[in-house]
Amino acid sequence: MTDLCVKWSCEYCTYENWPSAIKCTMCRAQRPSGTIITEELFPSGAGHRSDPVCNDSLLICPDSSARPRVRPAESSEHSGKWSCQVCTYLNWPRAIRCTQCHSVRQRLCSSTETPQTSGTGPPADPCEEYNDRNRLNTRAQCWTCSACTYENWPKSSRCVVCDHPRPNDAFQPREPDEPSSVINERDRGGARRHSPSSSKREAELQIELAAGAQSGKEEIEMDFKKLKQIKNRMRKTDWLFLNACAGVVEGDLSAVEAYKSSGGDIARQLTSDEVRLLNRSSAFDSGFTLVHLAIRFQRQDMLAILLTEVSQQAVKCIPAMVCPELTEQIRREISASLHQRKGDFNCYFLTDLVTFTLPADIEDLPPAVQEKLFDEVLDRDVQKELEEESAVINWSLELGTRLDSRLYALWNRTAGDCLLDSVLQATWGIYDKDSVLRKALHDSLHDCSHWFYSRWKEWESWYSQSFGLHFSLREEQWQEDWAFILSLASQPGASLEQTHIFVLAHILRRPIIVYGVKYYKSFRGETLGYTRFQGVYLPLLWEQSFCWKSPIALGYTRGHFSALVGMESDGYDNRGAGANLNTDDDVTVTFLPLVDSERKLLQIHFLSAQEMGSEEQQERLLRDWLDCCVTDGGMLAALQKSSRRRHHPLITQMLEKWLDGYRQMHPCPTLSDGEDEEDDEDE
């Protein structure tokens, strides 16, 4: 019987265990007394050497039948092991927890250990890797499923049992003496077999994952505390700034306007803490401003507004801001002068002809005070772009110097209402703060929609064909585009188009001349397309006898309109204009060129097919609707006539109060002072 090894069969799972096993290797049941012994024949040629002590000399590790067979260090099968105080299971010497119930080992050297285990330590054992797995189970940070209460591995994103997603706060630190419920090899199916080397690598990998999960959790907790501290330090202006940054990325202009209206700095830069709060590294970087974000996400409309706002380094002080009471009275005056005409073309119109000009008293101020005044009332960037970069205004020395017709770009709000603000600035010197002009624009477009629609459709068709775009839209498409134009007029802050300028010319009952850049350009100087704003807008749907021939001038620069106004003079007898001008000294005349710097006639917008013709025909049309003259240099110009505000004392009072602030900086000698000095000299 030397080739026979007697095994015993478990009464619960019928697993055949080795004779030396006191518990079932599969189900861990206690070996009963009087077990049924089965015999298994190992042929001598099957690779097993005949051994007289075959029944007792080969041991199997208690965890799996696949574990390596080793020689015992002692004759007894229990030597070097320690007994668990809870379940009495015999564990290997290096195990710090019980393999069966995971109870903590009570003391390092038990009564069952031999001197060999208490001295320099037990000899190296291949089965110690399974004890290492026991130690790993105590360290693993499992998370409990909220649906089925199953404890899952830290790396699992969903529950293994019910597939429920892991909650965000699933990682909770486990107490050192809390028994782990990690499924061991027996629970997962003891049939899986691992070599000692692969099991050891797996144990090391799982230890690294557990350590990484713990460190990751600590970093998350630190980040959460840091973000909480940052939020506690945030003020209302800081939150408005972050909302404005997000608004630029998402195209929400209202968030940017809310930050501006609160007095926020447009040139403010994002800090690293604010970038962490926004939590979108692909969009936000430290040091970025709203302008940088608008450039990155190609928000052209916002960019024009932001650049204009950033460029205003000096504190602005325009006449309309000096005396709010007078400004409100002027607004009521404008509302009272708005009427709607009866008949088929029931468009709104203004009953008063008013043209705003800078007072001549500015020239009496000292040069330093004049410079400060112009910095606060003018838009220097617009002035520079229209004068130097594009040569749109003040390019003629004859008009600017000899005829004293230099144009000045007034500063206005950098919102989508810049067109309406500039129109009221060029006439009454105030903003359209109460949207009175916008309401009149909206009502006129809707009440006279069929009139303006036919002009707009005919003009757009001709314009597309003139550029070689040989296509025609369906009527549904025309109606959709027209509905969009109507919707813009009703939205405060919405950018307006050429059609709206054409309607405003009818409300004012006078021509509007727009001097603007011809091309859209990128911020690298690349030409993107035509702007189509420059030209003359005539109130063609009114009778000529119902309109005034004195135009107003506007400037257009990259999505922004500015009022272009002249300065009062003591008459124009010394101007030498090549026209017979019969006016009195109470009227200031500003000569507005009707040609560009290349001496080409400015385009007249929204002409019908009958009105379109040669350049001579368009020049005759301009002469019919405007007071025109030809200068000594042969330039066709329109005459803008403005009175000394004799009929509008409110504007006079507003300008006088505005100038008083600059007069007090450097008082000018008065006439009485001069007379007193002469009297002293006579004495």
Q: Which positions are annotated as active-site residues?
A: 418, 560
CA–CA dist 8, 19 (Å, integer) = 6
Tokens of residue 361, six digits? 């008293």
DSSP-assigned letters across all residues of 81-109: -EE-TTT--EE-TT-SB-TTT-PBPS-SS
Q: 207 exposed, middle or buried (CB, 10 Å; 0-12, 13-18, 19+)?
A: middle
Cα 678 → chain centroid:
68
Would you call 359 helix, strand, or coil by DSSP?
coil
DSSP-assigned letters across all residues of 10-28: -TTT--EE-TT-SB-TTT-
Residue pointed to by tokens 């006129």: 444
Tell me the H-state helices in 467-614.
475-489, 498-508
CA–CA dist 341, 319 (Å, integer) = 32
**Among candidate residues 446, 443, 453, 503, the one with its CA nearest the CA of residue 475:** 453
Instruction: Answer for the pair 453, 480: CB distance below 8 angstroms, yes or no.
Output: no
CA–CA dist 190, 7 (Å, integer) = 19
CA–CA dist 551, 197 (Å, integer) = 94
What is the number of other CB atoms lying within 10 angstroms of the CB of residue 604?
A: 20
CA–CA dist 415, 313 (Å, integer) = 18
Write the DSSP symbol of residue 572: S
Write the DSSP symbol of residue 554: E
CA–CA dist 140, 181 (Å, integer) = 10
Pairing of strands 408-409, 348-350: unpaired
